[in-house]
A and B are shown apart, each in its own frame.
Chain A
């Protein structure tokens, strides 16, 4: 019985469980810029022998290996975990932040999403607050400064009450976790026509606002983070929602609504106090 069923599935799926893939040929157009201040340009590189099994970054590795062997400088790009969690990788691929797949960071994108003969355009994030450092690498330290301005719970190490002292409803916990999943990549900014970082700010504000631990500083936090956001030169949010579509963690724009509520009440109370 079991054997028959098994044989049947095999017939449907064909005998080879792991079909071999034919290597692809692509034409890459890559932004090259030597330093922050140097002018940049798109440079074309024909690239051969790409396996559909390769990740997008492995394809760039392949390009870099070819360049180094020719004695040319490799293309600089940020990367580290290559698992979609550290937020290092940050590529505009054919005009889309992190490329064509939904909920996918550049490092998780595989070459099977492309076809033999394709032209692929690779550029850095474009935003005044994210200056290009070199080639595809940008300076996203503005995000660190936004967190430093207030994206935390202000407790020192030591003296914390027992972890179970404060029960937290599972739904609140889940909502906090949804927001906390942000990897700080900056795709939301790159995708936004206004280069606003509101989704990033909202994700952190909302994560902490869902939890009792986040309450004491809730209003100040929203205000401080939005203030820093504006000082860094990010644009305003006009509800275009491109950020959500580009976000590799599919952070919802609903968090921006939550942020707006916290922000408005915080400015109102500031005015009243002041």
Chain B
């Protein structure tokens, strides 16, 4: 592999000395046969010998839960960690919409190839083709597995599985359990995990937060954790470490993610040598309930399905903004998505819908108390289909909306606004899901994954379970088969050193004794990222962000207030520690956005837009395949040195890059 590296935002790509090897290890052969061949050729470990290997799985979401259970079933000794009080509470539980699979039960022309193609195209040709194809292949097994576990997927009257179309897909390939698909899939994985815990095959450590990765001679040998109740900082040795710690959307403070979601495990592993790929690929979801005030701790997602029947609008004139929406006549309304994207209208893709909403709000036409909101109006749908039909389809969502806003969406339009939702970037992994640190594997949202620059709806659940049930158990076995089993003693100097560093950092946080709370810093950081590195970015906004983030970070270490001590449950300490990583990571995210001088998928640089028929920029991404058809993988270079940007070139043998157009 050529070490094609590039410093943030400086000129065209140039070569640097080889410091880090990016070997994707994609097997040979035609695309559709790679995974089959891999499995045929992989090394095996006999059942009795598997028990001689210990695997530490960090995270119990769909990815970690499914992996820990499956690895234990195979016979490995598994240690499993999560920061919640129970593995069942991982963030995956909150997913609503559904999970894709290329079952073609509908006879509507779906196939593994189509799901693969849609995913690559949806990701705007910034994902690794072979991984995506494998994902589409195993998608069908996931559904079977979950049904066997007793996951209550929706059924038709004839007793067969029901599916629906999701997020603008032309095929009905999304399986669902009412509005609680993530919950049911996670409970399936959790129950499989609980079964192995009951057998003693998995040792579960809840309320246990990973603080660092331990490497010895460059290889992952274990982790350092803090028990959140007792405060105990402790090491665990393992033959391999699997990170399944989820995404980093909470870097933006307000997001649809659960409160505890964090980047700590992934970022600390990055500092120990794991390359971080495409951190600037962050997805913003157009239909969330707008911010109501400073007190707000998170944003709530309203299912995208609402856009099938709701019409998005704002007043044409600023003067109408404060008026009651039902008093504004049709002629005074700007149905801006229908106007700008006549063929897709209100179903325009997530990023386009989000940016359009931002634009009209920037123009001063946003509605609601904050001025950052647009209407999603069901009046026409109710008139045409009747209130009962709408109630049938969306009753629970309308209820949820009313619970939060005290407004009745049957009588007046909902208000929605985009919010941070999902992160496509993550630790770089090869085809085997191994990071640049040997022995460290990364699965689920935590890796840079299969979604390229933009993820399709209902594909994250699919990826998490694919990785955990059907990919990692093979690839990890292949790798372990080449290793001698045996744990590094946790009194090894590297363990002791890493443990001491993690503990010192906590002590340092407690010692600052400043005036501002960790949450205040988090909110400040989030605001900078949202304003300058959010839906639309440009060189100037990104450079401003870099400066501001550095200033916040500096202030943080001199002025954060963390009362209490590190010897028991201390939520302020937990938060401060996570925020400290978000701040360093926020800078990396911004640098990555700066260095990628193109627009693609969810990464929108205002400088790089397609030109419309009228000769003006038209808001569509202008990709630059000549210079950026690659994965950017960042190498940590030390606290006082700029990280190094490496590139893994992407080749598309089967799906040929096309230009996106939703006009």
Is the C-beta of B165 less than 8 angstroms from some C-beta in chain A?
A: no
Give the chain A neighbours of B517 by CB distance below 8 A: 65, 68-69
Is the C-beta of B661 less than 8 angstroms from some C-beta in chain A?
A: no
Give the chain A neighbours of B105 by CB distance below 8 A: 164
Contact status B144-A167, CB under 8 Å: no
Chain B 124-176 interface residues, beta-carbon cutoff 8 Å to A? 141, 143-150, 152-161
Of the candidates A2, A58, A134, the one whose C-beta lies within 8 Å of that of B229 is: A134
Complex alpha-carbon distance, A169 and B161, angstroms: 10
Of the candidates A69, A82, A156, A157, the one whose C-beta lies within 8 Å of that of B470 is: A157
Is the C-beta of B481 less than 8 angstroms from some C-beta in chain A?
A: no
With A65-B519, A69-B515, A88-B89 as contacts: A162 and B144 at CB distance below 8 Å: yes
Give the chain A neighbours of B84 by CB distance below 8 A: 78, 80, 86, 88
Is the C-beta of A74 less than 8 angstroms from some C-beta in chain B?
A: yes
Complex alpha-carbon distance, A140 and B143, angstroms: 31
B434 shortest CB reach to chain A, Å = 20
With A6-B327, A6-B328, A17-B412 as contacts: A152 and B152 at CB distance below 8 Å: no
Of the candidates B161, B178, B206, B564, the one whose C-beta lies within 8 Å of that of A163 is: B161
Give the segment of A7-15, A191-199, A238-246, A255-263 that binds chain B.
A7-15
Complex alpha-carbon distance, A59 and B94, angstroms: 22
Interface mask (B270-295 → A, CB under 8 Å = 1, otherwise 0)? 00000000000000000000001101
Of the candidates A10, A149, A158, A166, the one whose C-beta lies within 8 Å of that of B327 is: A10
Of the candidates B144, B159, B569, the one whose C-beta lies within 8 Å of that of A133 is: B569
With A2-B330, A35-B568, A153-B191 as contacts: A140 and B85 at CB distance below 8 Å: yes
With A86-B94, A148-B195 as contacts: A53 and B155 at CB distance below 8 Å: no
How many residues on chain A are close to B (CB under 8 Å)? 92
Is the C-beta of A32 less than 8 angstroms from some C-beta in chain B?
A: no
Is the C-beta of B356 less than 8 angstroms from some C-beta in chain A?
A: no
Give the segment of A92-100, A208-216, A229-237 that binds chain B.
A208-216
Contact status B88-A213, CB under 8 Å: no
Is the C-beta of A124 less than 8 angstroms from some C-beta in chain B?
A: no
Complex alpha-carbon distance, A105 and B29, angstroms: 53
Interface mask (A92-132 → B, CB under 8 Å = 1, otherwise 0)? 00000000000010001010100000000000000000000
Complex alpha-carbon distance, A207 and B293, angstroms: 40
Contact status B324-A87, CB under 8 Å: no
Is the C-beta of A34 less than 8 angstroms from some C-beta in chain B?
A: yes
Q: Which residue of A lies closest to B383 (CB)?
A: A2
Q: Which residue of B lies closest to A49 (CB)?
A: B295
Complex alpha-carbon distance, A180 and B473, angstroms: 28
How many residues on chain B are close to A (CB under 8 Å)? 98
Complex alpha-carbon distance, A76 and B496, angstroms: 30
B288 shortest CB reach to chain A, Å = 12
Contact status A61-B572, CB under 8 Å: no
Contact status B152-A173, CB under 8 Å: yes
Contact status A83-B300, CB under 8 Å: yes
With A13-B412, A166-B147, A207-B152 as contacts: A68 and B561 at CB distance below 8 Å: yes
Give the chain B neighbours of A10 by CB distance below 8 A: 323-324, 326-327
Is the C-beta of A67 less than 8 angstroms from some C-beta in chain B?
A: yes
Is the C-beta of B591 less than 8 angstroms from some C-beta in chain A?
A: no
Chain B 467-508 interface residues, beta-carbon cutoff 8 Å to A? 469-470, 473
Q: Which residue of A lies closest to B404 (CB)?
A: A110
Is the C-beta of A25 less than 8 angstroms from some C-beta in chain B?
A: no
Contact status B191-A72, CB under 8 Å: no
Q: Which residue of B lies closest to A147 (CB)?
A: B194
Contact status A168-B159, CB under 8 Å: yes
A255 shortest CB reach to chain B, Å = 14
Is the C-beta of B11 less than 8 angstroms from some C-beta in chain A?
A: no
Extra contacts, 8 of them, besides A9-B324, A17-B367 (Cβ < 8 A), are A53-B405, A59-B295, A85-B93, A85-B94, A152-B191, A152-B192, A156-B70, A160-B144
A-B contact pairs, 11 of them (CB 8 A): A6-B329, A51-B293, A69-B515, A74-B564, A76-B571, A134-B229, A144-B194, A148-B194, A153-B150, A157-B469, A180-B177
